[in-house]
Amino acid sequence: MAASASGEATRIMLAVNESTIKGYPHASISCRGAFEWILKKIIRSNTCDFKLLFIHVQVPDEDGFDDMDSKFASPDDFKKMKHRDKIRGLHLLEYFVNQCHEIGVACEAWVKKGDAKEIICLEAKRVQPDFLVLGSRGLGPFQKVFVGTVSEFCVKHADCPVISIKRNADQIPQDPVDD
């Protein structure tokens, strides 16, 4: 047995999501933290031996909560809304792909729609990464009851090894439920 000198890249899947903080650009604090953790602690200077797989799951806005301030006067308005959601998802992935490109780490990124925790597990099964990394808000037990965590579900149900990276204490916003 020896540490491999070459061979296929280690494929790390990272689930990314948008920040819940209004006006905050793009990626959530947790998923940016998880991304930086991978670079700093795993990939380090060995950029050629890894490939990052970014998945973003868009939750269909069934209750229209995100569009409380929007006005809908025609079917086109709904199309616009869906188009806008798509654009936002792409901007999110663009952020991570740009970062990888700058650093010189191979990557792929894609968007899916549905229930985040279930889609992440399905995609992990389909894509078979070496492991899955999830950013986590690191909420206390009281907050978890109301918010639930995608990472807990994936740790239990994903086919591949899963590592959950909690937000740093200095990155917690005023309301810890925000991200």
Report residue 142 as tokens.
């009281």
What DSSP element (H or E) covers 111? Answer: strand 106-113
Q: Which is nearer to a second copy, 62 or 102 (CB)?
A: 102
36 vs 108 by CB, closer to a second copy: 36
The single-letter code of the amino acid at 81 is M
**Which residues in this chain contact a second copy in the complex, by CB under 8 A?**
1-7, 10, 36-37, 39-47, 49, 99, 102-105, 130-131, 155, 161-166
1 versus 73: smaller Cβ distance to a second copy:
1
Q: Which is nearer to a second copy, 85 or 124 (CB)?
A: 124
Least distance from C-beta 5 to a second copy, angstroms?
Answer: 5
For the chain, helix, strand, coil in percent to 5 are: 45, 20, 35
Describe the crossing of helices 150-157 and 116-127 by its angle, rounded to 10 degrees.
40
In angstroms, what is the minimal distance from the CB of 171 to a second copy? Answer: 14
Three-state SS at 94: helix
CA distances from 33 to 38, 83, 101, 128, 137 (A): 9, 28, 18, 23, 10
Q: How far is CA 167 from CA 47, 66, 67, 158, 160, in A?
A: 24, 25, 28, 21, 22
Least distance to a second copy from the beta carbon of 146, Å?
A: 19
Would you say 63 or 102 has its CB closer to a second copy?
A: 102
CB of 161 to a second copy, least distance (A): 5
Q: How far is the CB of 12 from a second copy (least distance, A)?
A: 9
